[in-house]
Structure 1
Amino acid sequence: MIKRLFDIIFSLIGLILFLPLLLIIALVLKIESKGPVFYLQSRVGKNNTDFKIFKFRTMYVGSDKKGLLTVGDKDPRVTNVGYFLRKYKLDELPQLINVFIGNMSFVGPRPEVRKYVDYYSNSDKEILSVKPGITDYASIEFRDEAELLKTTNNPEKLYLETIMPQKIILNKKYINDVSIFNDFKIIVKTIEAIVK
């Protein structure tokens, strides 16, 4: 209850404070390339239910049909503005909408697409017992995930066999010790990681 109240209050404050920036980003996106301002993608949330996650569109329209993983800082599917937004995690700002309406929280396991959740074991699915978040331990640890994926000829294999299992371990670490205090620590570490 306290966490939900925190999410509502601070997501609303965030949306109000960042409104000028959100509008500027939206305008630049519309000028730079054709397509919608937001990219709505189906992700798996609490209780294994699908929901639409809000992000600023950072790729050319239709790019997701060529693969779900972004590879490196020069993925040709990503727009010039998209590179900048991704680098500073500004493409994630619209997820404040998800937090406000209640299908995400500020802190919680990052929601996966259904394709990868289908690889979860029964014990892994305990991750889906909590609301997904904008940030978590895995988001901090794998902030440069796209760069890691760039180092191999088979990004899908690297993700499934190396990155995703480590994310699952970090997600379980979070759900086994959920507290407002830990959420605050993760938020602070996330800000530090972005600044660095």
Structure 2
Amino acid sequence: MSKRGFDLLASLGGLVLLSPALLAIALWIRWDSPGPALYRQQRVGRGGVLFTIYKFRTMHQRLEAGAELTVGHDPRVTRAGTLLRRYKLDELPQLINVVRGDMSLVGPRPEVPRYVACYPEPLRRMVLSVAPGITDWASILYKDENAVLARSADPERAYIDTVLPAKLDYYVRYVRERSFWIDLQIIARTLVAIVR
């Protein structure tokens, strides 16, 4: 089976099976704070093409326009958002992006344009040569992002100088080694990490 065929089958199946949970989460978000259940943002996809990513809203709508980084106990995050972020449930609507073909289940996480502009040119071409994913090695193995940013006097600088290069290493590793078997490994390890 092709990667796209697997993505389409798994994401459609996931949306059907998870539809009661997705509806319950959407209603909880609406009850918890004013605003829509979904959050939309422009991200950079394959070949540098911009697309709209979908996530469950985890911030107070009136405060969403602040910094793009979330550091420590960010006051913009809602009560529902805290739990959704902890268990990565805010990422579930990206199954819609997979069905649309904007994303894959597994691949380098898509960034906003301002941070993609910080990628060294050869690495940018390599990372953007594949479809971005809902999960990847960086999502599983790089757990210190929030701690690094919370300790820094300048989280933006720390993200660009420390976190982004670490993530890029994982993105490049995936692009070089990618295979259907590795995708299955990453999916399995993501599910284990969420359960833990």
Shorter-chain TM-score tier: over 0.9
Structure 1 residues 144 and 90: alpha-carbon distance in aligned structure 2, compared to 1, 3 A threshold: farther
2: CA distance between counterparts of 1:101 and 1:129? 18
Question: In 2 relative to 1, CA 144–78 (structure 1 residues): closer, same or farther, beyond 3 Å?
Answer: farther
Q: What is the match of residue 7 of structure 2? A: 7
RMSD (Å) for aligned C-alpha atoms: 1.2
Aligned length in residues: 195
Q: 1:97-112 alignment to 2 at 5 Å?
A: 97-112=96-111
What is the CA deviation profile of residues 137-196 of structure 1, one whole-angstrom value per residue up to 9, with x for unaligned ones? 111123452233112121111110011001111100000011000001111111121122
Quick one: percent identity of the two aligned structures? 50
**Counterparts in 2 of 1:80-159, with a 5 A limit?**
80-125=79-124, 126-143=126-143, 145-159=145-159
Q: Given the alignment of the two structures, is residue 32 of structure 1 paired with residue 50 of structure 2, yes or no?
A: no
Q: Which runs of 5+ in 2 are unaligned?
A: none
State the distance in 1 between where 2:82 and 2:168 align. Answer: 27
| Aligned residue runs from structure 1 range 52-91, under 5 A | 52-72=52-72, 74-91=73-90
Task: Please name the residue that 2:195 is paired with.
Answer: 195
After superposing the two structures, state which structure 1 stretch, 163-172 or 135-144, moved more. 135-144
4+ residue runs over 4 A deviation:
none
Distance in 1, matches of 2:144 and 2:21, equals 24
Separation (CA, whole Å) in 2 of partners of 1:46 and 1:181: 21
Rounded to whole Å, the distance in 2 between the matches of 1:144 and 1:88 is 16
Gaps of 5+ in 1: none
Q: CA deviation at 1:127?
A: 0.3
AA aligned to 1:122 is E
TM superposition score normalised by structure 1: 0.96
Matches within 5 A, 1:152-171: 152-171=152-171
In the TM superposition, residue 34 of structure 1 has moved relative to its aligned partner by 0.9
Which residue identity lines up with residue 60 of structure 1 in the other structure?
Answer: H
1:143/1:16 CA distance change after superposition, 3 Å:
farther
- Where 1:75 maps in the other structure, the secondary structure is coil
Give SS of 2:64's match: helix
After superposition, the C-alpha distances for 1:55-114 in whole angstroms (9 at most, x for unaligned) are: 000001143322000001x21000000000000000000000001111100000000000
Taking a change above 3 Å as real, the CA distance of residues 140 and 147 of structure 1, as seen in their structure-2 partners, is same
Structure 2-normalised TM-score? 0.96
